[in-house]
Chains A and B, each alone.
Chain A
Amino acid sequence: MSNDIILETRDLTKHYGGVHALEGANFTLRKGEHVAIMGDNGAGKSTFVRQITGVEQRTRGEIIFDGQPAQFAGPLDAREAGIETVFQTLALADDLDVPDNLFLGREKTKWDWLGPFRLLDYKAMRDATMAGLEKTAVKIPNLNNPIRNMSGGQRQCVAIARTATFHSKLTIMDEPTAALGVQETAQVENIIRTLKEAGEPLILISHNMRQVFDLVDRIIVFRRGRICANLRKEDTDGQDVVAYITGAKTQPEYAEAE
């Protein structure tokens, strides 16, 4: 049974000094499942992601990833374990080009005995980049230009291609389309559908109700640092979800904590 679960958090909590940004989050994600996290700004969604991905160290609670208790010292640990993340603040280096950004922190190299001065295998990275971008169908004028000259949508697609290039056990996207136009949003949603077809599980943080109902199987609602609802898509609708987000409703199993 536990074999079916890719990620579980128990009582996951993060306090920033007196700010209780995340409080007692119990969450499970099955393999192949796509789940949306919704909630107002400041509800603790990004904080939840940062605890899972090792960007920050949690105040309390457990994370079980792929059957193993997870204690990631940093984002690289999480990534090596198989968690790919598109963070809300794009973690891209503006002065580097597309392949450089895709492979930042895990470059393909030659002559590894040179330690920090080992050589970059530019050709291998370029080839893998093209293969990765093929999935995204974005048009990028020149792979070798610094990405600072690209549009928001192109940059976001680079960030997402980064996760799509590496076969991951879990993908997390924190508001991936918040700053994008209609067409660019459609491209990102297509990438998400390919992940679904490939059976790769996803946590999608989004404020876009249409998008969420189009793409995911289940919706989790966060409110003031706590989970207040866990809804199967078939059992709910937009109005219902809004009621949970605004606090008009709370599911009984989460009520006692309020």
Chain B
Amino acid sequence: MSDHSHGIGGLTFDRSKRAWPNEINVLGALVLIIVIFEALGAYLMGQSFLFDSNERFDSIFNEARLRIIILQVSIIGIIAIGVTQVIITGGIDLSSGSVVGATAMIAMSFAQVAEVNGYPNPKAIFGPGLMDLPVLVPIVVGLICGVIAGAINGMLIAYTRIPPFIATLGMMVTARGVAKWWSKGNPVSFPTDSYAGIGSGMMPVVWFVALAVLFHLILKYTVYGKHTYAIGSNEDGARMAGINVARHKVLVYVIAAMLASFAAIILSSKNLTAQAGMGLVYELDAIAMAVIGGVSLSGGRGSILGTVLGALIFGVIISGFTFLRLDAYYQEMVKGVIIVAAVVLDQWRQRRAASKS
């Protein structure tokens, strides 16, 4: 008998009836994939994948590989934090990669130094009046780029009722155009030291973890989070409950685009340059991370924690293939397979949930 009464009314509280959090399944998948790569490594290469097999003394892990995996997923992971929120509302954002490109170009232009080794900056976009600016300027400019892109996405979706897929596809093409037009295709380089500090070393990981924790808490403990789930779960119901659905959607798309813009700042800072092609197809990687992490494409379900685990799975698989010395071509193909497989899994989970109730 696991039935314990609360002592009030007809309420019973049954611990065994508690829903099994999906994140545990995702964590299990992560562990399983690591085990598979360890086994393949031992069998094919005679090497361990994540553990230190070089008989060094200081660590049990292969730190270099772990670092690469985490660094690799951090920047796209930041985008995935925003994409997760969009998908939870039942939408999709295809513009994040292009927003990264456009923001990187524009923000970097406000972060340039006037002189490189005593010579004028060869890649200068603006005159000397707009060079050597405090680091806050390119950050604010970059985030404003995000606000503009997100507000356009959100308002198109919320007020003209264009499907999110189409609205953000338009933004994807447009923002990429802006990125190319900005400096006529030339890269923008030579940032100030303080700008270069934003994404140097392991800083992308620090930003990723901090933003993931922040937004995990926001989705769980704030009205914003609750309404995000409610809209994805039952949009008409949310409207009848008095939620201003249109306004909320605009806010969600703005936050998603701001996160993409922030990822652009980190990426251009890390690379010390911005190019018009930056962030190409990042949106698909970010969507894949979210879906692998259990965020349902039909809305209402998923969490930032799940997406973080999804990002790790994504990173482990990609670096696992590098570890097994498979060609980059195969990696691309496998990425495609992972994305489709994750969506198929999501569909299957939904059908199973629907047939149970």
A145 at the interface (CB under 8 A from B): yes
CA distance A241 to B339 in the complex (A): 59
Binary interface encoding of chain B residues 8-20 relative to chain A, with 1 for a CB under 8 A from any of its CBs, else 0:
1111111101110
Cβ–Cβ contact B14 & A105, under 8 A? no
A130 at the interface (CB under 8 A from B): yes
Contact of B233 among A74, A96, A149 (CB under 8 A): A96
CA distance A15 to B3 in the complex (A): 52
Closest Cβ of chain A to B25, distance in Å, is 16
With contact pairs A104-B243, A105-B243, A116-B224 given, residues A94 and B233 touching in the complex (Cβ less than 8 Å): yes
Interface window among B59-67, B203-211, B215-223, B341-349? B215-223
B161 at the interface (CB under 8 A from A): no
A120 at the interface (CB under 8 A from B): yes
Contact of B226 among A90, A100, A130, A145 (CB under 8 A): A100
Binary interface encoding of chain A residues 88-126 relative to chain B, with 1 for a CB under 8 A from any of its CBs, else 0:
011111111000100011110100001011111010000
Contact of A140 among B12, B222, B234, B353 (CB under 8 A): B12
Cβ–Cβ contact B251 & A94, under 8 A? no
Interface positions of A from 133 to 149, Cβ below 8 Å from B: 133-146, 148-149
Q: Which residue of B lies closest to A116 (CB)?
A: B224
B241 at the interface (CB under 8 A from A): yes
Cβ–Cβ contact B251 & A93, under 8 A? no
Closest Cβ of chain A to B324, distance in Å, is 39
Chain A residues near B224 (CB-CB < 8 A): 116-117
Contact of A95 among B10, B11, B233, B236 (CB under 8 A): B233
Chain A at the B interface: mostly helix, strand, loop or mixed?
Answer: loop
A24 at the interface (CB under 8 A from B): no
Cβ–Cβ contact B223 & A118, under 8 A? yes
Cβ–Cβ contact B11 & A93, under 8 A? no
Q: Which residue of B lies closest to A55 (CB)?
A: B240
- Interface size in chain A (residues, C-beta < 8 A): 46
Cβ–Cβ contact A95 & B301, under 8 A? yes
Interface positions of B from 226 to 243, Cβ below 8 Å from A: 226, 229-230, 232-234, 236-243
A87 at the interface (CB under 8 A from B): yes
CA distance A138 to B218 in the complex (A): 32
B310 at the interface (CB under 8 A from A): no
B356 at the interface (CB under 8 A from A): yes
Chain A residues near B221 (CB-CB < 8 A): 119-120, 122
Cβ–Cβ contact B10 & A96, under 8 A? no
B138 at the interface (CB under 8 A from A): no
Interface positions of A from 40 to 91, Cβ below 8 Å from B: 55, 74-76, 79, 87, 89-91
B357 at the interface (CB under 8 A from A): yes
Closest Cβ of chain B to A107, distance in Å, is 5
Cβ–Cβ contact B222 & A117, under 8 A? yes
- Interface size in chain B (residues, C-beta < 8 A): 38
Closest Cβ of chain B to A142, distance in Å, is 5
Binary interface encoding of chain B residues 323-338 relative to chain A, with 1 for a CB under 8 A from any of its CBs, else 0:
0000000000000000
Contact of A142 among B17, B229, B242 (CB under 8 A): B17
Chain B residues near A106 (CB-CB < 8 A): 241-242
Cβ–Cβ contact B8 & A134, under 8 A? yes
CA distance A95 to B237 in the complex (A): 12
B300 at the interface (CB under 8 A from A): yes
B351 at the interface (CB under 8 A from A): no
B56 at the interface (CB under 8 A from A): no
Chain A residues near B230 (CB-CB < 8 A): 93, 96, 100, 104
Chain A residues near B184 (CB-CB < 8 A): none
Closest Cβ of chain A to B332, distance in Å, is 34
CA distance A220 to B229 in the complex (A): 39
Chain B residues near A114 (CB-CB < 8 A): 222
With contact pairs A104-B241, A105-B243, A114-B222 given, residues A130 and B229 touching in the complex (Cβ less than 8 Å): no
Beyond A96-B233, A105-B238, list 13 extra A-B contacts (CB 8 Å): A75-B240, A90-B237, A95-B301, A105-B242, A116-B224, A119-B222, A120-B222, A120-B223, A141-B12, A143-B11, A144-B18, A146-B19, A148-B357
Report, nearest first, the 10 A-B pairs whose CB atoms are least far apart.
Answer: A76-B242, A134-B9, A105-B241, A105-B242, A93-B233, A91-B237, A95-B300, A141-B17, A104-B241, A95-B233
